[in-house]
């Protein structure tokens, strides 16, 4: 399959149609934009290296950026899946990650599970919560204008965060990983838990990919994403697919929450930070584009670290947001999305 | 709303009842609107004499929420451009006023106007980009959200804006009209806030009745048709955006002068954006008086909940001393209104009456 032709230099200035994200969840990255993105990252690395004046610092930033980026990908996965199928920006995604952190905290402390074995608790719990949100709150208004659904997800986010605050209290918590130690990669020191999280993220992304591409249910999800009407015509229960999709998205958020729990401060608002990053990742990768989210996550992780070097003293997220707005305006279909 | 998003997921015209925006412009009720403005004015003047001083804080919150909601509504309700980042404009208003007051010594009266101008300019700039590149629906929502968040991060990292510490308004002795500062609990704050709200409402009534206002609403309802009859739609969208941002900045300045303190989260946090949204949604998006009524309901909620928690009745005693319940109440109210009363109180009422 050859890469799609790129958008012209002045994208959609005169056409009435909005820059739709790739409507299917399996858009292939285009080689040219990937090369451009890679080139920009290399330039940013060189600049960061010059500004910081130390190779060690640069390598540390690159390794940390990649590892964190993997986690961002995983968190964004649920968001992009939900957007790709339901066309709803799930503002509650970050709150779901926070809920998952607390669930895994509870599983580790109450049931004495290993922090990663807690996945067997968090994933089903989050899937249930996700299914409940979709069935109870979102399905009734799926035909309303988009802001209606966004408001519901904002409401859900507020509700979940306040519930966490009520149930668990404001004191930050932490999950300690037995046998967490630092290792050196190319002279950069990294804690093992971050490597586990990175590998876990890759595995889960691959799993999600297989589910979407190879299973009957995945095919149904993709067909609903492509055309809800068409899917209904061939006998797919669209509302059920919506519920399953949201449950899958919430499970991805759940898995992410468990994987990052060992190196994150667990508090009710912990998800809000991830929320922002995940939005950026999703837009970068093309809204609704699962492989795009993986690459987008890595790019955001690197941007954050390199931006921290280039603009010392600023929040590392600021660089991410500048990139975000640039991409949003210059190429809103995402660097891997095809233009409609 | 917009032609191009009418894909399979858009409701049929007959099913437009599900929409959040009340399409009815209550311009035929011009006299009523003016009477209501008069009522707000009278109530605003009298209220400080009736209310115990301790309740004035809640009354101020109502005014600030009302200004925020009215501002948000101009762009989102009458313009159809849903903003999820109105904290940006609130924050610009508050921070500009604070910065000019603390660092330059400029009176808040002027600082507030500068803030409104900067806020409107920033809003027009960002919206011009967003609309120019045809960002719609989800993308537009994200760009507004990201803009507010970027400003928050920028302020947090900026030394001359005091990073996370924020600004405290220097305290003066006694009442000082020139510096917009009065003794704590003074009713003058409330009167000034009321005056602001009255002026803003009069302006909105005038604007929506004007040619520009009608063009703006036509643009919202069907942009393609509007541009087909020669309305420069982008110009009217940006006009609404500028008005919206300026009103919200005014709310920010009022907030600063009343609470005498601002920090990045209070100014640019997502909570601020949410408060504006919830206020308008409860009252009625796209109705003139919706946000004002919404503010009367939403603004005291958190105080009521806090009060309830301090002295809970017997059957609620298990709730005593819990944090976060007020936010939960906000969340439930928001969800309930969006699901059950999507036109808000005023929108539903107007819809019923016209049938």
Asked if residue A161 lies in contact with residue A271, where contact means CB atoms within 8 angstroms, the answer is yes
For residue range A129-157, list pLDDT tens digits in order: 999 999 888 888 888 777 788 888 989 99
Q: Which domain holds residue B184?
A: 29-163+175-267
**Which stretches within A176-315 are classed as H helix?**
192-214, 216-226, 228-233, 238-260, 270-285, 290-310
In a domain, B293, yes or no: no
Residue written as token pair 């946090």: B269
Q: Does residue A205 form part of some domain?
A: yes
Task: Fill in the DSSP letter of residue B26.
Answer: G
* A residues 273-312 closer than 8 Å to B (CB): 276, 279-280, 283, 287, 311
Within-domain flag for A12: no
Residue B292's pLDDT band (boundaries 50, 70, 90)? very high
A21 falls within a domain: no
Using the predicted structure, report yes or no on whether residue B242 has a pLDDT greater than 70: yes
Query: In chain A, whose CA is at the least distance from the CA of B127?
Result: A329
Question: Cα B55 vs. chain centroid, distance in angstroms?
Answer: 22
The answer as to whether B121 is a domain residue is yes
CB atoms within 10 A of CB B227: 16
What 8-state DSSP symbol labels residue B179? T
The DSSP bridge partners found for residue A188 are A185
Inter-chain contact A154–B274, Cβ cutoff 8 Å?
yes
In a domain, A41, yes or no: no
Q: Is residue A274 part of a domain?
A: yes
Residue A69 phi, psi dihedral angles, 5° rounding? -60, -40
DSSP B299-348: HHHHHHHHHHHHS--GGGGGGTT-SSHHHHHHHHHHHHHHHH-TTHHHHH
Of all residues in chain B, the one with the smallest CA distance to A162 is B324
Rg value, chain A, Cα: 20
Q: Is residue A4 in a domain?
A: no
Residue B250 inside a domain? The answer is: yes
Query: How far A69 CA sits from the closest chain B CA (Å)?
Result: 19
Tell me how many domains chain B contains.
Answer: 1
Average predicted confidence (pLDDT) for chain B: 82
The upper half-sphere exposure of residue B300, i.e. CA atoms within 13 Å in the direction of its Cβ, equals 12
Residue B10 lies in a domain: no
Residue B65 and residue B73 in contact, taking contact as beta carbons nearer than 8 Å:
no
Separation between Cα atoms, residue B111 and residue B252, nearest integer Å: 11
CB atoms within 10 A of CB A136: 12
Indicate whether B78 belongs to any domain: yes
Residue A125 has pLDDT above 90, yes or no: yes
pLDDT tens digits for range A168-209: 877 788 777 776 666 777 777 777 888 888 888 888 888 888
| Residue A226 placed within a domain | yes
The whole model's pTM is what? Answer: 0.82
For chain B, say whether A181 makes contact (Cβ under 8 Å).
no
Residue-range definition of the domain harbouring residue A104:
55-330
Structurally, chain A folds into a number of domains equal to 1
3-state helix, strand, coil in chain B (%, to 5): 75, 0, 25
pLDDT digits (tens, 9 = 90+) for A71-92: 888 888 888 888 888 888 888 9
Question: Is residue B18 a part of any domain in this protein?
Answer: no
Contacts of residue A207, Cβ cutoff 8 Å, sequence gap at least 6? none
> Has residue B16 been placed in a domain?
no
Give me the sign of the Cα torsion angle A312, A313, A314, A317.
positive
Say whether residue B323 is in contact with chain A using an 8 A CB cutoff. yes
Residue A247 is predicted with a pLDDT of: 93
B273 is written with which tokens? 């954006």
Closest CB to B149: pick one of A144, A227, A276: A276
Region B197-205: mean pLDDT is 92
Q: Which residue has the higher pLDDT, B76 or B303?
A: B76
The interface predicted TM-score (ipTM) is: 0.78
**Cβ within 8 Å, pair B84-A154:** yes
A195 DSSP β-pair partners: none
**Region of residue B180 (left: phi > 0; alpha: psi -120 to 50; beta: else):** left
CATH of the domain at A241: 1.10.3470
Residue A26 lies in a domain: no
| Cβ contacts of A266 within 8 Å, gap of 6 or more | A98, A101, A102, A105, A172, A173, A174, A175
CA pair distance B310, B158, nearest whole angstrom: 39
Residue B202 pLDDT: 92
8 Å CB contact of B82 and A147: yes
Beta carbons of B221 and B214 less than 8 angstroms apart:
no
Q: What is the pLDDT of residue A26?
A: 43
At residue A10, does pLDDT exceed 60? no
Which B residues, 219 through 258, put their C-beta within 8 Å of a C-beta on chain A?
224
Does some domain include residue B237? yes
The total of other beta-carbon atoms located within 10 Å of residue B327's CB is 22
């Amino acid at each position: 399959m050859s890469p799609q032709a790129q958008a012209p230099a002045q994208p959609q200035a005169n056409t009435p149609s909005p820059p739709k994200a790739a409507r299917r969840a399996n858009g292939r990255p285009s080689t040219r934009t990937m090369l451009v993105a890679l080139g920009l990252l290399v330039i940013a690395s060189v600049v960061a290296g010059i500004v910081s004046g130390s190779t060690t610092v640069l390598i540390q930033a690159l390794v940390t950026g990649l590892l964190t980026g993997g986690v961002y990908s995983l968190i964004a996965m649920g968001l992009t899946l939900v957007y790709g199928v339901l066309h709803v920006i799930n503002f509650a995604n970050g709150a779901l990650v926070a809920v998952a952190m607390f669930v895994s905290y509870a599983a580790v402390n109450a049931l004495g599970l290993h922090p990663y074995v807690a996945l067997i608790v968090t994933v089903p719990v989050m899937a249930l919560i996700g299914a409940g949100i979709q069935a109870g709150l979102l399905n009734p208004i799926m035909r309303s204008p988009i802001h209606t659904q966004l408001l519901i997800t904002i409401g859900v986010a507020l509700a979940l965060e306040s519930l966490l605050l009520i149930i668990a209290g404001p004191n930050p918590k932490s999950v300690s990983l037995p046998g967490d130690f630092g290792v050196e990669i190319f002279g950069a020191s990294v804690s093992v838990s971050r490597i586990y999280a990175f590998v876990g993220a890759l595995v889960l992304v691959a799993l999600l990919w297989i589910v979407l591409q190879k299973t009957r249910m995945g095919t149904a999800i993709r067909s609903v994403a492509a055309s809800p009407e068409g899917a209904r015509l061939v006998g797919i229960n669209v509302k059920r697919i919506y519920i399953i999709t949201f449950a899958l998205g919430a499970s991805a958020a759940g898995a992410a929450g468990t994987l990052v729990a060992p190196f994150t401060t667990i508090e009710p608002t912990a998800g809000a930070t991830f929320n922002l990053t995940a939005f950026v990742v999703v837009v970068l990768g093309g809204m609704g584009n699962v492989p795009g989210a993986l690459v987008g996550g890595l790019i955001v992780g690197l941007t954050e670290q390199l931006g921290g070097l280039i603009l010392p003293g600023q929040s590392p997220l600021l660089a991410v947001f500048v990139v975000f707005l640039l991409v949003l305006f210059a190429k809103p279909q995402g660097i891997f999305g095809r233009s409609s | 709303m917009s032609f191009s998003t009418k894909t399979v997921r858009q409701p049929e015209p007959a099913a437009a009842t599900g929409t959040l925006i009340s399409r009815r412009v209550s311009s035929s009720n011009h006299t009523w609107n003016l009477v209501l403005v008069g009522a707000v004015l009278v109530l605003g003047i009298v209220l400080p004499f009736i209310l115990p001083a301790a309740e004035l804080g809640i009354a101020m919150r109502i005014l600030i929420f009302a200004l925020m909601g009215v501002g948000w509504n101009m762009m989102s309700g009458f313009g159809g451009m849903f903003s999820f980042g109105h904290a940006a404009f609130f924050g610009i208003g508050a921070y500009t006023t604070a910065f000019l007051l603390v660092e330059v010594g400029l009176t808040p009266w002027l600082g507030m106007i500068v803030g409104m101008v900067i806020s409107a300019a920033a809003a027009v700039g960002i919206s011009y980009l967003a609309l120019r590149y045809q960002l719609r629906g989800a993308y537009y929502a994200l760009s507004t959200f990201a803009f507010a968040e970027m400003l928050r991060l920028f302020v947090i990292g900026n030394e001359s804006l005091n990073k996370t510490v924020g600004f405290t308004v220097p305290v003066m002795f006694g009442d000082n009209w020139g510096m917009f500062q009065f003794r704590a609990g003074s009713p003058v704050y409330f009167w000034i806030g009321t005056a602001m709200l009255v002026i803003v409402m009069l302006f909105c009534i005038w604007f929506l009745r004007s040619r520009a206002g009608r063009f703006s609403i036509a643009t919202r309802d069907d942009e393609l048709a509007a541009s087909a009859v020669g309305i420069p739609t982008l110009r009217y969208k940006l006009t609404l955006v500028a008005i919206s941002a300026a009103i919200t900045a005014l709310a920010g300045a009022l907030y600063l002068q009343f609470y005498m303190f601002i920090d990045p989260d209070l100014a640019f946090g997502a909570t601020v954006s949410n408060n504006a949204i919830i206020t308008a949604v409860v009252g009625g998006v796209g109705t003139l008086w919706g946000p004002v009524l919404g503010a009367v309901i939403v603004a005291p909620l958190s105080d009521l909940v806090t009060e309830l928690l301090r002295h809970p009745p017997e059957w609620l005693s298990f709730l005593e001393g819990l944090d976060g319940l007020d936010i939960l109440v906000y969340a439930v109210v928001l969800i309930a209104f969006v699901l059950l009363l999507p036109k808000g109180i005023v929108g539903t009422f107007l819809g019923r009456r016209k049938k």
